[in-house]
Amino acid sequence: MRKPGEWMQLPTDNLILEALDKGLEIGPTAIARNIDKSQSTVHERLRVLIEYGLVEKVDDGYYTITDDGHAYLEGDLDAKDLEPSA
């Protein structure tokens, strides 16, 4: 069972992480199109997910899920314990 943090926006953050969990490096436009959210919403949430270490930017406009992101999806990481990067 997933343990989201209070800082998370559900279900959007879960949908973004699930889209990235396919092992692909993809951008906000492709994510937005596949989860039925606006590109601006996805871009905004990606910034937050990066700040908390669940997603990383791999290139200009491309993102991937981190090991912590995988652990969160598997229920092995409590997002309440995550602190934003400085």
Task: Tell me the per-residue pLDDT of 68-86, one tens digit each, with 9 for 90 and over.
Answer: 999 999 999 999 999 999 6
Task: Tell me the per-residue pLDDT of 20-49, one tens digit each, with 9 for 90 and over.
Answer: 999 899 999 999 999 999 999 999 999 999
Instruction: Say what the pTM is.
Output: 0.95
Task: Spell out the domain ranges in the chain.
Answer: 12-81
For 13, half-sphere exposure in the C-beta direction (CA atoms, 13 angstrom radius) is 24
Average pLDDT, the chain: 96
pLDDT at 86: 66
Give residue 77's identity as a one-letter amino acid code: L
Report, at the CATH architecture level, how domain 12-81 is classified: Orthogonal Bundle (1.10)
Q: Please, what is the Cα angle at 23 between 25 and 32, to 5 degrees?
A: 55
The phi and psi torsions of 29 (rounded to 5 degrees) equal -65, -45
| C-beta of residue 40 within 8 angstroms of C-beta of residue 85 | no
pLDDT at 9: 97
- Distance, in Å, from the CA atom of 27 to the CA atom of 84, rounded to the nearest integer, reads 22
| C-beta of residue 55 within 8 angstroms of C-beta of residue 18 | no
